[in-house]
Amino acid sequence: METFTVSTKSRNQLIDITSEVTGVIRESGVSDGACIVFTPHTTAGITINENADPSVKSDISMKLSDVIDQDSRFRHMEGNSDSHIKSSLVGCSEYIIVEGGRPVLGTWQGIMFCEFDGPRSRRVHVQVVGE
Q: What is the pLDDT of residue 76?
A: 82
Could you list the residue range(s) of the whole structural domain that residue 28 is in? 2-130
CATH number for 48: 2.60.120.460
What pTM does this model have?
A: 0.94
**Cα(76)–Cα(94) distance, integer angstroms:** 27
Residue 51 pLDDT exceeds 90:
yes
User: Which is more confident, 77 or 127?
Assistant: 127
Number of other residues whose CB lies within 10 A of the CB of residue 57: 20
Please state, rounded to an integer, the average pLDDT across all residues of the chain. 95
pLDDT digits (tens, 9 = 90+) for 79-129: 789 999 999 999 999 999 999 999 999 999 999 999 999 999 999 999 999
Our count of domains for the chain comes to 1
| CA-closest candidate to residue 17, choices 41, 38, 34, 31 | 38
